[in-house]
């Protein structure tokens, strides 16, 4: 926007008039105005720069009590974390930060397998962590192809977290209803395989804009919301990714930090269960036979 000469002259006259008025005031008034302006500047500067970075620094320096009020902590990783020293990370769970679960990127789209997935997936379980695997949604391939690719590449076991879908982008050329139906297609296919509700990851504003339909209400939410003291999303949620700038022993560089919204017992309750075991009486000799009914996997 540009101003013509009359507008510039009017603005200049207003500034000069304000200066003359200020110069006519007693020194006490000028001091009070100066102090007030300085305080206003400090408040604005703190809110815009200091407060957000304060939470960031708490994460970077590994504050185990951040965010306040939660006791079950975890991380999510991918190839970007490089070679992880799992012995150091396992010890960190006991000594410096109560890391209980590790969520690992597995697949993206209908053809990309994270090159560190298999290594990380095995090491997470061998190191005693609750583990999970997430698929990164792509708008360049169909929901069905992405779901079946995830199922082909990832073999979740009893004791693992339910499958996870990471959704962060909506195509511009389809409606919200079409987008929601695509996401539901992936969720339904994977749910039919594992017989548990997949976890849905997204950031909180995206959830409100595109995934607020009641058809998603039964799915556990993992919400990304960084550098704040408390979750601003008001709906039900299970996991909170609260920073992308965490520091932990065993991992070079930054790592995403997460919390679980509940206690350790509740976390174990949402894991993939063991196959059901049912006692069936033998009709001939009345002895009890233990039959294990494995989940059917197409």
User: Tell me, what's the pLDDT at 290?
Assistant: 36
Catalytic residue from among 76, 114, 160, 166: 76
Catalytic residue from among 126, 168, 208, 213: 168
User: Tell me, what's the pLDDT at 151?
Assistant: 98
Is residue 168 among the annotated active site residues?
Answer: yes
Query: What is the residue whose two structure tokens read 């002259």?
Result: 9
The DSSP code sequence of 118-185 is: HHHHHHHHHTT-EEEEEEEP-TTS-HHHHHHHHHHH----TTSPPPEEE-----TTS-HHHHHHHHHH
User: pLDDT of 222-236, one tens digit each?
Assistant: 999 988 878 888 889
Q: Which of 179, 227, 224 is nearest to 200 (CA)?
A: 224
Assigned CATH topology for domain 64-269: TIM Barrel (3.20.20)
Q: How confident is the model at residue 63 (pLDDT cuts 50, 70, 90)?
A: low
Q: Read off the pLDDT of each residue in 219-224 and give the average, rounded to a whole number.
A: 97
Residue 123, pLDDT above cutoff 50: yes
- Under 8 Å between Cβ of 272 and 130: no
């Amino acid at each position: 926007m540009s101003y013509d000469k009359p507008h510039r002259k009017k603005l200049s006259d207003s500034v000069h008039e304000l200066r003359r008025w200020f110069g006519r005031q007693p020194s006490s008034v000028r001091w009070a105005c100066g102090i007030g302006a300085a305080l206003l500047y400090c408040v604005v500067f703190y809110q815009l720069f200091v407060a957000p970075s304060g939470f960031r620094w708490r994460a970077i320096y590994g504050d185990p009590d951040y965010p306040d009020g939660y006791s079950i902590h975890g991380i999510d990783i991918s190839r970007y974390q490089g070679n992880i020293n799992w012995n150091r990370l396992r010890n960190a769970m006991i000594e410096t930060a109560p890391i209980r679960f590790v969520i690992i990127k597995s697949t993206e789209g209908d053809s990309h397998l994270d090159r560190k997935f298999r290594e990380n997936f095995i090491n997470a379980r061998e190191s005693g962590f609750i583990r999970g695997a997430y698929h990164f949604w792509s708008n360049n391939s169909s929901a069905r192809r992405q779901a079946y690719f995830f199922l082909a590449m990832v073999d979740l076991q009893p004791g693992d977290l339910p499958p996870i879908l990471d959704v962060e982008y909506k195509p511009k050329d389809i409606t919200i209803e079409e987008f929601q139906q695509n996401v539901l297609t992936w969720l339904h296919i994977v749910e039919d395989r594992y017989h548990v509700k997949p976890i849905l990851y997204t950031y909180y504003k995206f959830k409100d804009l595109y995934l607020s339909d009641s058809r998603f209400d039964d799915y556990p939410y993992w919400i990304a919301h960084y550098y704040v003291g408390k979750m601003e999303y008001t709906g039900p949620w299970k996991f909170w990714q609260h920073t992308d700038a965490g520091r932990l022993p065993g991992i070079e560089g930054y790592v995403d930090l997460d919390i679980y919204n509940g206690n350790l017992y509740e976390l174990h309750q949402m894991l993939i269960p063991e196959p059901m075991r049912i006692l069936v009486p033998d009709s001939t000799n009345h002895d009890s036979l233990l039959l294990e009914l494995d989940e059917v996997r197409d």
